[in-house]
């Protein structure tokens, strides 16, 4: 994309960034699911992979509504989050601690997306692009729901299981 000169350009630039972020996640989520040991966590990650593909289609539709060709531009933020997640998978032993770390990494990605989608929605509304805003609100709601599900998984036993043996170490 050329130089960003106005809010419309900034919105397009951010949508392209999100498109690439979602695409990166379609490649990262299967690895997280493969490394998770908790069945509910594996199921949540695989379910969110399907949602992520739908979210990419929505982003493409939003770009077309703005007379732009659907495409991405490298999202350095998501690339960094995924790089950290991959490093964590290499450094943490399989089991509950890794499951807790996978949840933490997945929530970092969700929070990044929640912030970006919120910004794009505000910008789209400011410019009167109500159809674009509605598409992005659907995705924002899914991202928030995914974050809540990850929190629920963490507090439903994964975090507790990850602390097993800690009391002996602390004494």
Residue 169 predicted with pLDDT over 70: no
Residue 39 CB: number of other CB atoms within 10 A?
A: 8
- Mean pLDDT throughout 49-71? 97
Q: What is the pTM of this model?
A: 0.92
The answer to whether 153 and 41 have CB atoms below 8 angstroms apart is: yes
The pLDDT of residue 166 = 57
State the pLDDT confidence band at 3, using cuts at 50, 70 and 90: confident
What is residue 171's three-state secondary structure? coil
- Which domains, and CATH codes, for the chain? 7-71+81-163 (1.20.1260.10)
> What pLDDT is stored for residue 2 in this prediction?
61
Whole-number Å distance between alpha carbons of 87 and 79: 12
Q: At which residue do the structure tokens 């089991």 appear? A: 95
Q: Which pLDDT score, from 0 to 100, does residue 165 have?
A: 55
Residue identified by tokens 């507790």 is 160
Where residue 165 falls (left for φ over 0; alpha for ψ -120 to 50; beta otherwise) is left
pLDDT attached to residue 170:
43
Is 70 exceeded by the pLDDT of residue 168?
no
Range 98-118 average pLDDT: 97
| Structure-model confidence comparison of residues 111 and 169, the more confident one | 111
Mean pLDDT along residues 56-76: 97
Question: Who's near 137: CB < 8 A, 6+ residues apart?
Answer: 121
In this predicted structure, the answer to whether residue 99 has a pLDDT above a threshold of 50 is yes
d(CA 91, CA 48): 24
pLDDT above 50 for 171:
no
User: Averaged over 104-122, what is the pLDDT?
Assistant: 98
Quick one: average pLDDT of 34-63? 97
Task: Please provide residue 156's backbone torsions phi and psi, each rounded to the nearest 5 degrees.
Answer: -90, 10
């Amino acid at each position: 994309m050329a130089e960003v000169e106005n809010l419309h350009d900034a919105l397009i630039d951010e949508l392209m960034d999100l498109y690439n972020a979602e695409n990166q996640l379609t490649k990262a989520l299967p690895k997280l699911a493969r490394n998770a040991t908790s069945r509910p966590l594996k199921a949540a990650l695989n379910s969110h992979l399907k949602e992520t593909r739908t979210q990419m289609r929505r982003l493409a539709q939003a770009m077309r509504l703005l007379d732009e060709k659907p495409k991405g531009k490298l999202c350095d933020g998501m690339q960094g989050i995924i790089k950290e997640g991959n490093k964590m998978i290499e450094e943490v032993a399989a089991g509950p601690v890794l499951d807790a770390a996978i949840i933490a990494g997945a929530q970092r990605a969700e929070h990044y997306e929640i912030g970006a989608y919120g910004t794009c929605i505000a910008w789209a509304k400011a410019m009167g692009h109500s159809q674009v805003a509605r598409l992005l609100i659907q995705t924002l709601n899914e991202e928030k729901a995914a974050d809540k599900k990850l929190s629920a998984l963490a507090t439903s036993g994964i975090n507790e299981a990850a602390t097993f043996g800690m009391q002996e170490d602390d004494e």
